[in-house]
Structure 1
Amino acid sequence: MDPTEFFDRLWDDYLQHAPSAEGIHALLGGGAPIVNDHIALRTFATDRLGVDALHPLFEALGYEIGDHYRFRVKKLRARYYRHPDPARPKIFISELLLDECSDTLRDTVLALCEQVSAAATAEPAFLCGNRPWDLPFASYRALREESEYAAWLAAHGYRANHFTVSVNDLPGFDAVAAVNAALKSAGYALNDAGGEIKGSPEVLLEQSSTLADRVPVRFSDGEQVVPGCFYEFAYRYRQADGSLYQGFVEASADRIFESTDAGA
């Protein structure tokens, strides 16, 4: 699988879990192509499914590690990957550190992970819309009590948690604030945790995001409607050398995670 097929498959799956994205795409792009800054993935920090274990999948797509991040309150570790071709979107992947969670959450998650065969993670297609375990709704609700992140991942598995519009490359818009205004005028709800705009010119990155669409999800004991995926918008500022900043800001990303909170 090459990167083009990988992102095409991610996008097709993503639209099933963020149905508002198609309308937002049309609103902002007016039918023209939109440049994707990055996509985000989630996983559990286990020997088989942790970020290190999935690293060969990104290598197979031609990606290399950009930088590492730590989110202590949410008990997460993350890194982003970049491609030698700067036109390729970045990939941001985070993992829940199970050894920092309760015994109950850890036992529930490990039971899910035991359902995943070693062979399942051999190809990048594993990440393109795949929940490789059965999950009762009661387990989802129990996970949500401790970690919205764990509950979302348990319910949705491996797929793009969000795509991100590159505002720098968006005709007709020159700032995240302008994008937000257009979205609100069209009736889309934004994540206002920490403010609608996360970041600033001083940290070289501004971001905003919609709240996750609520979508039907199949649980082992029936279908329920829960938060799905969302759309993000990012504007990158130039560094002292004139190049655009390519990393992420931990404080901003920490609040972006809350776009999938059930109570949002």
Structure 2
Amino acid sequence: MKFKKSDPLGVVLNALLLPYQERVTDVVKISKKMIEKGLINKQSDIINDHIAFRTLGVDHLGIKSFEKIFLHYGYRKMSFYNFENKKLDAYWYAPPSSYYPRIFVSEIRVKDLSLNAQKIIEKYTKHIVQDPVSQLDLNNAKTVGEFFHKPLWDVPTIKDYKLLLEESEYAAWVIYNRYYLNHYTISVHELPNGYNKLEAFNDFLQSIGIVLNSSGGIIKTSKDGLLRQSSSVAKMVEATFADGEHLKIAGSYVEFAERLVLPEFKKLPKDEIKTIHRREGFESANADKIFESTYRNQTDRTSK
């Protein structure tokens, strides 16, 4: 999970991943148990399939702003995804080389929310009158890394948070967490035999006490059967709101992906199979359920 300090893109990714690792206790727990089980020798042996971010679809923010960072560092904008019921749009971005993770960025279509929800979001973002990414020196990796943890808007009141939560759990997550890394993803197919299929790896995860997202089933499978995904349920974290009140809210989580070999490469010897031989991209039906790793229909299960 750690990249070279001499690598500009690595500096940016480290600035995202290291704080995420400290906050999401399941990350270290899973890595330690994988080492104990002999699946990896060290945490950096884990292949990170992708990382994901959530944003607000308002002027000067959202995907159009956020993507500028990673496009600058060599990522390529790929497929578009629409989540009608959740009122979300998303794109994924291919890395400059397979050494780096894919990136998945989503945004909520704020104008599709109720007027009350729009007013709450506007209350916190109306002072942003120009794209904050345009003000960054994108060649300064350290500054870019710090940007992800910069508060672009004020911490909400608990009242505003709860009102948003009732209409859009996604919007409520973003209004408090801002650009915090939503999740990183373990490439299960890269693990040793016996653990390189999701069924087996999920059994391992549950044996060490990891609660898995059950929305749409523990394993979410693409229509072509070649992309299979599971995720942990976000742990609840203590949040302090603008009025000094405290509430436990959903934090971030960990995802697990299995990308199968494309039919035309089925006969390739295992040691010759590379990223280009496996299923690429994402699946909206899978992602729709993965989003719910931070939703109450899942997080409430961890307190029962």
- TM-score w.r.t. the length of structure 1 is 0.93
- 1:90 partnered with 2:102: yes
Q: Secondary structure at the match of 1:24?
A: helix
CA contact (8 A) 2:261 2:279 kept: yes
Describe the shift of the 1:8–1:207 C-alpha distance in structure 2 as closer, same or farther (beyond 3 A): same
Describe the shift of the 1:158–1:246 C-alpha distance in structure 2 as closer, same or farther (beyond 3 A): same
Which one of the candidate residues 62, 68, 72 is aligned to 2:84? Answer: 72
- 1:14 partnered with 2:20: yes
CA contact (8 A) 2:60 2:131 kept: no
> 2:11 matched to which residue of 1?
5
Q: For the residues of structure 1 that align with 2:146 and 2:54, how far apart are their CA atoms?
A: 12
Larger Rg: 2
Work out which structure has the larger RCO, using CA pairs closer than 8 Å and 6 or more positions apart in sequence: 1
- 1:129 partnered with 2:149: yes
Of all paired residues, the percent bearing the same amino acid is: 33
> 1:237 matched to which residue of 2?
260
CA RMSD across the alignment:
1.9
CA contact (8 A) 1:39 1:160 kept: yes
Q: Which amino acid aligns with 2:204?
A: A
Q: Secondary structure at the match of 1:202?
A: coil
Q: Gapped runs of 5+ residues in structure 1?
A: none
- TM-score w.r.t. the length of structure 2 is 0.81
Q: For the residues of structure 2 that align with 1:166 and 1:158, how far apart are their CA atoms?
A: 23
CA contact (8 A) 2:82 2:88 kept: yes
Q: Secondary structure at the match of 2:224?
A: helix
Describe the shift of the 1:116–1:21 C-alpha distance in structure 2 as closer, same or farther (beyond 3 A): farther
CA contact (8 A) 1:203 1:249 kept: no
Describe the shift of the 1:241–1:88 C-alpha distance in structure 2 as closer, same or farther (beyond 3 A): farther
Name the structure where strand makes up a greater proportion of residues: 1
Describe the shift of the 1:18–1:131 C-alpha distance in structure 2 as closer, same or farther (beyond 3 A): farther
Q: Shift of the alpha carbon at 1:163?
A: 0.5
> 2:302 matched to which residue of 1?
none
Q: Shift of the alpha carbon at 1:92?
A: 0.1
> 1:168 matched to which residue of 2?
189
Q: Shift of the alpha carbon at 1:119?
A: 6.5
> 2:112 matched to which residue of 1?
100
> 1:260 matched to which residue of 2?
294
Q: Secondary structure at the match of 1:22?
A: helix
Q: For the residues of structure 1 that align with 2:148 and 2:199, how far apart are their CA atoms?
A: 31
Q: Gapped runs of 5+ residues in structure 2?
A: 1-6, 137-143, 266-276, 299-304
Q: Which amino acid aligns with 2:258?
A: Y
- 1:54 partnered with 2:88: no
CA contact (8 A) 1:226 1:262 kept: no
Describe the shift of the 1:221–1:22 C-alpha distance in structure 2 as closer, same or farther (beyond 3 A): same
- Alignment: residue pair count: 264
Deviations 1:141-171 (A, max 9, x none): 1100000000101110102100000112223
The 5 A counterparts of 1:95-244 are 95-116=107-128, 118=130, 120-121=132-133, 122-123=135-136, 124-125=144-145, 128-134=148-154, 135-172=156-193, 173-199=195-221, 202-222=224-244, 223-242=246-265, 243-244=277-278
Q: Shift of the alpha carbon at 1:127?
A: 5.7
Q: For the residues of structure 2 that align with 1:252 and 1:78, how far apart are their CA atoms?
A: 13
> 1:250 matched to which residue of 2?
284
